[in-house]
């Protein structure tokens, strides 16, 4: 994970919000605002990569097993 490509970006934030966020991140145990912001963005932006890698055949095979075991109709 350490080898991931990173970019430097400039963002404009309301001062008060930024200060609150820094404080909140620190309280939650994050080492930096950068780390806190990355975590938050991951939660919201990145989703469901997993199943993107599932081929239609694999998906059908999984559903077939789920059907045969009575988990789906």
Partner 1 sequence: MIPKPHGGKLVNRVVTGEKRDRLVLEAEELPVLSISYERAVDVVDIAHGVFSPLEGFMVQSDYLSVLHDMRLSNDLPWTIPVVLDVDPDEISGIKEGDYVALKHGETIVAVVRIDEIYGWDKREYAEHIYKTLDLRHPGVAKTMKRKELLVGGLVDLLNEIEYPVKHRVLWPIETRVLFREKKWERIVAFQTRNVPHLGHEYVQKAALTFADGLLIHPLIGWKKPGDYRDEVIFMAYEALIKHYYPRDTVVLAGLLMNMHYAGPREAVHHAIVRKNFGCTHIIIGRDHAGVGNYYAPYEAWTIFNEFPDLGITPLFIREAFYCKKCGGMVNEKVCPHGEEHRIRISGTAIRDMLRRGKTPPEYVMRPEVARAVIEAGNPFIE
Question: Which residues would be at the binding site for partner 1 (CB under 8 A)?
Answer: 1-2, 28-30, 39, 42-43, 46-51, 54, 59, 62-63, 65-66, 69, 71-72
Residue number with CB closer to partner 1 (10 or 51): 51
Q: Residue 1 or residue 12: which is nearer to partner 1 going by CB?
A: 1
- Token pair 């001062």 is found at 15
Taking residue 40's Cβ as centre, other Cβ atoms within 10 Å add up to 13
Report in angstroms how near the CB of residue 12 gets to partner 1 at its nearest.
Answer: 26
C-alpha count within 13 angstroms, C-beta hemisphere, residue 43: 6
């Amino acid at each position: 994970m350490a080898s991931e490509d990173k970019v430097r970006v400039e963002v404009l934030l309301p001062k008060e919000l930024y200060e609150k966020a820094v404080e909140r991140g620190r309280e939650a145990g994050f080492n930096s605002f950068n780390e806190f912001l990355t975590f938050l963005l991951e939660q919201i932006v990145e989703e469901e990569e997993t199943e993107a890698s599932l081929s239609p055949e694999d998906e059908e095979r999984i559903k077939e097993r789920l059907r045969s075991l009575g988990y789906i109709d």
